[in-house]
């Protein structure tokens, strides 16, 4: 059961800080944020939504049972909420649990996964699986990833003495150019503003260019109307008038 990691007004801390727990473990989930009143909510495997029954201030206290497996988050009366975490309770009292981070791991950070029994915390000869594929089967009791990448995200489980743990999802928070990916919307807005500004500038330049072409065309027509050919025609008309006047004068003399 997976809920996306979102930007939130609060954080939810889990103690012990792991995704899997044994039955009858004492687990506390604490809401931390600007508000004073929070409630811890759960979405269970069977699809039921419920509130924590044992709240002390902003902390939910659980004595774990199989029914406590689910997705947990903090929520305020005004509708603000935290990111969600997945909690899995191991139903097999003799089986192992996978000790893995309950919160997303930042890309590039190191992380260690281990296998644990209720009666024995440190184990050796453990098999580790990533998305049901065996990735380590030697004498080491830990799976160490020195620099986490997005490809490391997925379901993990461990196996010890023929018994398997439940699987838990390890999420990887990707960073962009050394900054959190949450800065991406800021750069998106900057790019959008620059793009719109560029379009406006191009439209203004196109308008100026068209105006300039119209002005050149008008000047061309005006210059043609005052060309030497027009002056010559005017001179010819004057000569014709003079000749016509001379002929009329000659007729009067006769």
- Please indicate, yes or no, if residue 39 is contained in any of the structural domains: yes
- Write down the pLDDT at residue 17: 94
Q: Are strands 133-136 and 127-130 parallel, antiparallel or unpaired?
A: antiparallel
- Please indicate, yes or no, if residue 233 is contained in any of the structural domains: no
Residue 11: beta bridge partners?
Answer: 32
Which residue, among 4, 10, 67, has the nearest Cα to 37 in the 3D structure?
Answer: 10
- The CA distances from residue 132 to 47, 103, 110, 129, 168, in Å, are 25, 21, 22, 5, 11
pLDDT mean for each 10 residues of the chain (254 residues): 54 94 95 83 93 92 94 90 93 89 94 92 90 90 93 95 94 71 54 80 83 60 53 46 47 46
Cα–Cα distance between 62 and 54 in angstroms, integer? 7
- Please indicate, yes or no, if residue 115 is contained in any of the structural domains: no
CA 156 to chain CA centroid, nearest Å: 24
- Write down the pLDDT at residue 210: 76
Determine the structural domain holding residue 84 and report its residue range: 9-91
- Please indicate, yes or no, if residue 249 is contained in any of the structural domains: no
Instruction: Give the chain's domain count.
Output: 1
Q: What is the CATH number of the domain that holds 77?
A: 2.60.40.10
- Please indicate, yes or no, if residue 239 is contained in any of the structural domains: no
- Write down the pLDDT at residue 81: 87
């Amino acid at each position: 059961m997976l809920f996306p990691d979102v930007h939130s007004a609060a954080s939810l801390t889990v103690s012990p800080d792991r995704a899997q727990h044994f039955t009858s473990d004492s687990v506390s989930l604490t809401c931390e944020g600007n508000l004073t009143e929070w409630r811890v909510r759960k979405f269970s495997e069977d699809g039921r939504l419920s509130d924590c029954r044992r709240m002390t201030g902003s902390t939910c206290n659980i004595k774990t049972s199989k029914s406590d497996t689910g997705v947990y988050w903090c929520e305020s009366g005004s509708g603000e909420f935290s990111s969600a975490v997945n909690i899995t309770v191991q139903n097999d009292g003799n089986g192992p649990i996978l000790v893995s981070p309950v919160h997303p791991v930042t890309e590039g950070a190191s992380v260690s996964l281990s296998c644990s029994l209720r009666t024995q915390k440190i184990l050796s000869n453990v098999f580790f699986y990533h998305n049901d594929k065996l990735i380590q089967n030697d004498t080491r009791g830990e799976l160490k990833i020195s620099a986490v990448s997005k490809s490391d995200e997925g379901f993990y489980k461990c196996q010890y003495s023929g018994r398997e743990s439940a699987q838990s999802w390890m999420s990887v928070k990707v960073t962009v150019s050394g900054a959190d990916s949450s800065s991406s919307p800021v750069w998106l807005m900057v790019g959008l503003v620059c793009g719109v500004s560029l379009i406006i500038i191009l439209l203004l330049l196109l308008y100026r260019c068209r105006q300039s072409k119209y002005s050149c065309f008008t000047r061309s027509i005006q210059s043609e109307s005052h060309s030497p050919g027009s002056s010559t025609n005017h001179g010819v008309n004057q000569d014709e008038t003079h000749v016509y006047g001379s002929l009329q004068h000659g007729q009067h003399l006769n």
